[in-house]
């Protein structure tokens, strides 16, 4: 094992911790405010807020992944680095959505359901006030995924037809 491989191996755990920290800090510092204030004040209430967050999840994932598919390190490193930078807003949106969803999760053990859990905007309070938020968010996520798949199929079919027709025109 080379020293570079050892150093990379030592960076795996700290890198994983750095990836997990943003949603945890979001829940600790803004979770109560999101579900107690923003969600209840959202046009349509907390269920509409859950639908909005659920609809944004696949869009945020697309905003993160699509620029990364354009990378080609062998062809151009600066352009690939630019695509990595272009994917960062999508990554931030994914973290934001994960933080909002994580703030809705109740502690696993009932012994952790203290008064802060039942305060306005806390996970226990949110589960009692809006018991079906998870279903609304999941339904919105699945609806947007179906819509995106339909658009990709339609766009892909049109793109293939255009390529075939231009290929036939060039052959004649």
Per-residue model confidence as pLDDT tens digits over 105-159: 777 666 655 667 777 777 777 888 888 988 999 999 999 999 999 998 988 766 6
In a domain, 41, yes or no: yes
The span from the CA of 43 to the CA of 100, in Å, is 17
Query: Cβ-count burial of 53 within 10 angstroms (0-12 exposed, 13-18 middle, 19+ buried)?
Result: buried
Q: Domain range spanning residue 126?
A: 18-105+115-171
Number of domains forming the structure of the chain: 1
Across the range 11-20, mean pLDDT stands at 81
In a domain, 80, yes or no: yes
In a domain, 13, yes or no: no
pLDDT at 28 over 90: no
Helix locations, 44-76, DSSP H: 45-69
In a domain, 10, yes or no: no
In a domain, 11, yes or no: no
In a domain, 81, yes or no: yes
Sign (positive or negative) of CA dihedral 65, 67, 71, 77: negative
In a domain, 5, yes or no: no
In a domain, 55, yes or no: yes
């Amino acid at each position: 094992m080379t020293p570079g491989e050892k150093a990379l191996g030592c960076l795996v755990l700290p890198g994983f911790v750095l990836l997990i920290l943003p949603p945890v800090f979001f829940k600790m510092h803004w979770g109560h405010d999101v579900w107690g204030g923003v969600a209840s004040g959202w046009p349509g209430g907390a269920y509409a807020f859950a639908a909005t967050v659920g609809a944004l999840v696949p869009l945020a994932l697309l905003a993160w992944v699509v620029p990364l598919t354009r990378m080609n390190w062998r062809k151009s490193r600066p352009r690939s680095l630019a695509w990595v930078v272009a994917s960062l807003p999508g990554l931030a949106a994914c973290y934001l959505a994960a933080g909002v969803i994580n703030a809705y999760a109740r502690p696993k053990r009932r012994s952790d359901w203290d008064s802060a859990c039942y305060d306005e905007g806390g996970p226990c309070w949110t589960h009692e006030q809006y018991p079906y938020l998870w279903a609304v968010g999941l339904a919105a996520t699945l609806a947007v995924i179906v819509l995106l798949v339909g658009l990709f199929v339609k766009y892909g079919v049109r793109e293939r037809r255009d390529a075939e027709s231009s290929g036939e025109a060039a052959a004649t």
